[in-house]
Amino acid sequence: MISRITQATTDRLVASDPGLVRLRLAFSAVLSIVVAVLAILPFHQPLTVTLVAAIAAMTSAFTVNDETPAKQAVTLLLGLILGAASLTAASVGSAVPPLDSVVFVLLIFVAVYAQRFGSRGIALGSLSFFLFFFAMFLQTHLKQVPALLLALTIGIAANAVVRFVLVRRHTDAEFLRIRRAFRARLAAVVRAAEDHLAVGGSERTRKRLRTTNSRMHESVLLIEDTAPEVTGADSANRLRRRAIEVELAVQWLTITVQRTCAEDLDEDVRDDLIARMRRFRSLIERDPRELPLISETEEFSKMLVEGSRIDEHAAPGDGVRRALAELALADVRAQRVAEHDVSAVLDAADDPKDPEEKSSAFAYDNQTRSAIQAVVGGGLAVLGGELVSSQRWYWAVLTVFVVFIGSSTAGATFVKGVRRLGGTLIGIVGGLALALLVSGSAPATLALILVCVFGMVYMARVSQVIMAFFITSMLGLLYSLLGTFSIEVLWIRVAETAVGAAAGVLAAVVIVPVRTRAVMLDDVSALLDELDEFVEKTAGLLSGAENVSVIEKSRDLDRAVDKVRTTIEPLTHPVNLSSRRDYGWHVLTTVETIAFRARHVAARSQAGLLVNEADRLLLYTGRIRANIAMLGKAIGDPGGSGHGTLVRDDGTPVADRIDDPRARSVLTSFGHLDETVIALGRSFGVEATDPAPSGKG
């Protein structure tokens, strides 16, 4: 019983944290703090200086996320320089008020603006800001600057030791863990499909199917991102194709199960289908390296035989049986490639990677607009925070910074502000309870602070509310450690957070506001550009005109959908009670379906597959691209008129004279993609009409 519970807990951990990436980052942050504190102890510095070393170690572990160790080392070195300037400015400013508040607000502008420079800009901006904040929190002064710089150096050096020596990233082991997470999430989808079929379909089980599919998609993307580091860029393309095939097979299984639930099934048939899915899950070994053996089992052979029953002998539930057989076959192919065939010949040539677009150092765009809003919000937070507490106004400024990092619209700022305030309120209770629990015990207080740091880093990418809870609890413990803890201080913390959230939202709504819908339209337009390029390149590949990796193009489309998903979140969030919520969900579901259909096309496309039907193929895809262009024009000018209408398929697709099942499968997927583009048009008020007789091809 205990072993079963342990295994279930392990499976849940693996599934929730693919590759244990968040676990590694959280452990690295805690270990960096421990190393930094141990390293500074021989210097016999006061507690405030020791805490600066710990904070420097923690923030560098949390914020520096460059792709390679070499880039990480450069960012750490730059962080040391900028961190020294930040600590010095904070210490000087504290002696000459209100210079500290002016510098702090200006620092918000720099930190938010720095997001335009990617992960390094985010890391350096955040590191500088948080060091300035903690210097004010610890009430450092000018005479301490040499000791503070020593502590900063020790803290960043401690993180470097942990990052590059003690907890190095091992790509082979991480790749295997990601594959294990993929297995766990695959099993979760199948289990959700079982439950959906068992109850005959319900809104609760349908939502669970959607959630488990989304989580499995995350694992597929992680596999695709990690594979080149483990197998090399060339071999990774084949693995990417197989991983997408598995994902498509899983999604098809869930679609088939939902359709089957609408049928009038006998209980015996329903029980048989559920039993088959359970048996399939039993064949998924916990260690992915053993998975190719699944093909040698009698159960696997039985699945393939029953799943290939010809239509003349069709029986109720055959759709699920066939989908399950396709999933089993796709799974085995993917695992064999991952473990044994990574050096196989590619199905298609890789595209040369497009050079990364370098951000201009000075430009007026969304990042500049957000930085202006943040600095105005910071100024309002200083004024409001001073009214609440002349000593702890910087909490309000911190909240402004947090709600603007990663936010591009007024709606996103509002949602982050609500989450921040909610997490702080919950954290007040936790911090109070923990501080009272360990009152008077420094070792216990330090241990709980480390627990809070671990929880903060581990949950940062999952829940802002939980992260805010751990931050607030940690700060309550720090107050206790410094001997300044009181319930009044914690309530001032809540009030300052509320002031900061209100100031941030007010600035986002009033100062050059960016509406969520406007950014959503821009992101959908960018997605349509990616879709147009995908259709163009796929047509070239199928017609034999060029040899490109459409898998990479489908990944670009996935990234565009992820961006739409992030932008549209304020519309779909529970705090949004307007009718726009259903509209947001509809748009999101439609663009996700476009990405799904594109992945299906990419997984089946091969060079020259339709070379004999190239002319008709180009006419067919040309109409789809014309629809995409028409829709993009309408979205780009939502208030305009005369955009025309989309053109539906004329009922005689290219596949009507093609016998090759692979080619027919690709073209069928193209047809579904075409239908989804038209469905997206309806979301934006763009109608579709039947083609003129001359348009038939």
Cβ neighbours, 10 Å, residue 372: 17
Instruction: Tokens for 135, please give them.
Output: 């210097």
Cα→Cα distances 480→432, 433, 449, 457, Å: 10, 12, 11, 22
pLDDT at residue 314 in the model: 59
Counting as low any pLDDT under 50, the low residues of the chain are 291-293, 309-312, 341-356, 695-697
Instruction: Report the Cα–Cα distance between both ends of the chain, in Å, rounded.
Output: 65
pLDDT at residue 80 in the model: 95
pLDDT at residue 97 in the model: 80
Q: Is 647 helix (H, G, I), strand (E, B) or coil?
A: strand
pLDDT at residue 346 in the model: 36
From the list 256, 213, 247, the residue with the least C-alpha distance to 333 is 247
Give the contacts of 524 (CB within 8 A, at least 6 positions apart): 564, 587, 591, 635, 680
pLDDT at residue 233 in the model: 56
From the list 191, 205, 159, the residue with the least C-alpha distance to 60 is 159
Cα→Cα distances 553→541, 550, 644, Å: 12, 5, 28
φ/ψ of residue 50, rounded to 5: -60, -40
Which amino acid would we find at residue 31?
A: L
pLDDT at residue 203 in the model: 83
Cβ-contact 409, 532 below 8 angstroms: no
| Fold (topology level) of 516-695 | Methane Monooxygenase Hydroxylase; Chain G, domain 1 (1.20.58)
Give the contacts of 527 (CB within 8 A, at least 6 positions apart): 557, 560, 561, 563, 564, 591, 594
Cβ-contact 56, 86 below 8 angstroms: no
Residue ranges per structural domain of the chain? 21-169, 171-339, 365-511, 516-695
Q: Report d(CA 20, CA 357) in Å as an integer.
A: 31
Q: Report d(CA 57, CA 449) in Å as an integer.
A: 14
Cβ-contact 196, 255 below 8 angstroms: no
Query: Cα–Cα–Cα angle for 194, 195, 198, nearest 5°?
Result: 85
Give the contacts of 517 (CB within 8 A, at least 6 positions apart): 571, 580
From the list 57, 82, 95, 96, the residue with the least C-alpha distance to 132 is 82
Cβ neighbours, 10 Å, residue 656: 10
pLDDT at residue 24 in the model: 86
Instruction: Tokens for 518, please give them.
Output: 């406007």
- Per DSSP, 310 falls in state -
Using alpha carbons only, how large is the chain's radius of gyration in Å? 28
Q: Report d(CA 82, CA 128) in Å as an integer.
A: 6
pLDDT at residue 531 in the model: 93
Rounded to two decimals, what is the model's pTM? 0.74
Instruction: Tokens for 438, please give them.
Output: 């360990």
Cβ-contact 319, 256 below 8 angstroms: yes
Cβ-contact 91, 148 below 8 angstroms: yes
From the list 503, 555, 512, the residue with the least C-alpha distance to 408 is 512
Give the contacts of 3 (CB within 8 A, at least 6 positions apart): none
Q: Which residue intervals of 290-409 are DSSP H helices? A: 298-307, 318-339, 366-388, 394-404
pLDDT at residue 349 in the model: 38
pLDDT at residue 360 in the model: 58
